[in-house]
Amino acid sequence: MQRTGTISTPLNDVQPMLLRLFSRPMTKSDMEAIRTMLLEYYETLLQQEVEGVIHGKGITRRILTVC
């Protein structure tokens, strides 16, 4: 017998807004555009966080050349 779980974590403020915003028919291209936009947004946030950590730890990039 298979059990189905429920989500016990309450929604944050953004999640209900997104559900209302996207509760309409969408084409596949609409869904792909939204997916791409969200991925780009979170990629930018991740890069900023990584750059902050690198700067905060004083990490530098050395380029090694092979003769």
Q: Give the integer Cα–Cα distance in Å for 28 and 34.
A: 10
pLDDT-derived band at 27 (thresholds 50, 70, 90) equals very high
The CA angle 44-14-4, to the nearest 5 degrees, is 105
Q: Which of 45, 23, 66 is nearest to 37 (CA)?
A: 45
What mean pLDDT is predicted for residues 52-59? 87
Q: Where are the alpha helices (DSSP H) in the chain?
A: 14-21, 28-57
Tokens 């059990």: give the residue: 3
Q: Give the integer Cα–Cα distance in Å for 59 and 66.
A: 22
Q: Is the pLDDT of residue 65 over 90?
A: no
